[in-house]
Amino acid sequence: MTETAATGVIYGPREGYRDGLTRGLVLDLHRRMVRIRLFEESSGKLVETGDMPGFLHLYVGQEAVAAGVMSVLGDADQITSTHRGHGHAIAKGAEFRPMFAELYGKTTGYCKGRGGSMHIVDMSRGMLGANAIVGGGIPIAIGAGFASQYRGDGTVAATFFGDGASNIGAFHESINMAAVWDLPVIFVCENNGYAEFTAQSSHMKLEDIAERAASYGIPGVVVDGMDALAVRAVALDAVERAKSGAGPTLIEAKTYRYFDHQGIKGMRIPYRDPAEVEAWKERDAIKILEAIGTESGLASTEDFAAIWAETQADITDGIEFARNSPDPDPADILDDVYTV
């Protein structure tokens, strides 16, 4: 008996995926990523200083995945997300004011202060919510994709989940059902190498989670999750496939989170080698895109600096807005339990 299964995984985007790159696209992806980066850094600090309640699972390091996938989706396309959901929301177009307000637990927040970080939502942009249950959003996404197919409206759904989540039952059930019914759903596994503090090698015997696609008779694609253009390219293929009626795709984006599982720093035990962290930071997604932009001549250092600055201003505005927003009234505590 041979113990190594042959694999049907596709590696990386198709050749020439950077061809025809435009200035607009570079700046669009850059803006999405910078917005995530700064939002996460600032909100992480606000919790650390005790200014903001709750606990946060920060997305820093993984920006290229959300930015790349979201850049091929429209507002009518739906996504479901995870406990690490800010990045998905921001890349999908969520605004800082109601996001910060939500983290501050204010009435002006996306959830009116009811949900907080782990339930960030923006229905108007097809962001069907973060989810505090690992794997919890995956079945919901196939429902969104089912609605697309049922209505024939040409929309698709994407669901984000981690390497750890790919071991939970809900993943298996959902991707199989989506495959059987050719639902227009993109399964995006953000493999950052760890489920909390447990390394991938301790939670599965695979190197490439995309291999699991074969169990459902659908394509599995591995992509560099630090290259937003590569992510975008494979996402485009998957969306095309979904829209053509051919069904779902499993995309595995190899990526990394820079901060701790929760919060910025909290490494109680040294579960990651500092050298490993540094090596990943060397391949920072924003740096990579900025290099592509300047080397291709499509964008300048000044263009990027402007985005950083303008985003920073947005951050300041968002925090200010949140702080000045009204607290919810405990008298309303029973509102919105039911639709009446």
Partner 1 sequence: MTTRELTYVKAFNEGMHQMMASDPDVFLIGEDVAGYGGVFHMFDGLLTEFGDRRVKDTPIAEQAIIGLGVGAAARGLRPVCDLMFMDFIGVAMDQIFNQAAKMKYMFGGAVSVPLTITTAGGGGMSAAAQHSQSLEAWLAHIPGLKVAMPASPYDAKGLIVGAIRDDNPTIVVLNKKMLGVKGLVPEELYGIPMGVANVVREGTDVTIVAIARMVVEATKAAKELEAEGISVEVIDPRTVQPLDTDTIVTSVKKTHRALIVHEAVEFGGIGAEISSQIQESAFDYLDAPVARLAAPFSPVPYAPILENAYMPDAARIAAKVRALVERS
Ligand X SMILES: Cc1ncc(C[n+]2csc(CCOP(=O)(O)OP(=O)(O)O)c2C)c(N)n1
Distance between CA atoms of 116 and 125, rounded to whole angstroms?
18
- Tokens 């850094």 correspond to what residue? 41
DSSP secondary structure letter of residue 335:
T
Residues 71-100 within binding reach of partner 1 (CB under 8 A): 78, 80
Which residues 165-204 are close enough to bind partner 1 by CB under 8 A? 165, 167-170, 172-174, 176-177, 180-181, 195-198, 202-204
Which stretch, 29-37, 38-46, 222-230, 329-337, contacts partner 1 (CB under 8 A)?
Answer: 329-337
Pure H helices in 266-327: 274-282, 285-296, 301-324
| 154 DSSP assignment | S
Q: Which is nearer to partner 1, 96 or 304 (CB)?
A: 96
Q: Is 115 a binder of partner 1 (CB under 8 A)?
A: yes
Out of 102, 163, 252, 284, which residue is the one contacting Mg ion (CB under 5 A)? 163
- 313 touching partner 1, by CB under 8 A: no
Radius of gyration of the chain (CA): 20
Contact 183, 247 (CB under 8 A): yes
User: Which residue, among 33, 123, 88, 66, has the nearest Cα to 110 in the 3D structure?
Assistant: 123
Give the per-residue contact string, 127-166, with ligand X (x = CB under 6 A; - = no). Answer: -----xxx--------------------------xxxxx-
Residue 120 CA, distance from chain mean position: 12
CB nearer a second copy, residue 131 or residue 325: 131
**Which residues here bind a second copy, judged by CB under 8 A?**
1-10, 167-173, 176-177, 179-180, 202-206, 211-221, 237, 241, 246, 249
Distant-in-sequence, close-in-space partners of 331: CB < 8 Å, separation ≥ 6: none
Question: x/- string (CB under 6 A) for ligand X, residues 225-264?
Answer: ------------------------------------x---
DSSP 8-state secondary structure symbol assigned to residue 199: E
Task: Select the residue interacting with partner 1 from 132, 214, 277, 298 (CB under 8 A).
Answer: 132
184 binding Mg ion? (CB under 5 A): no
Is residue 246 within 8 Å of 31, Cβ to Cβ?
A: no
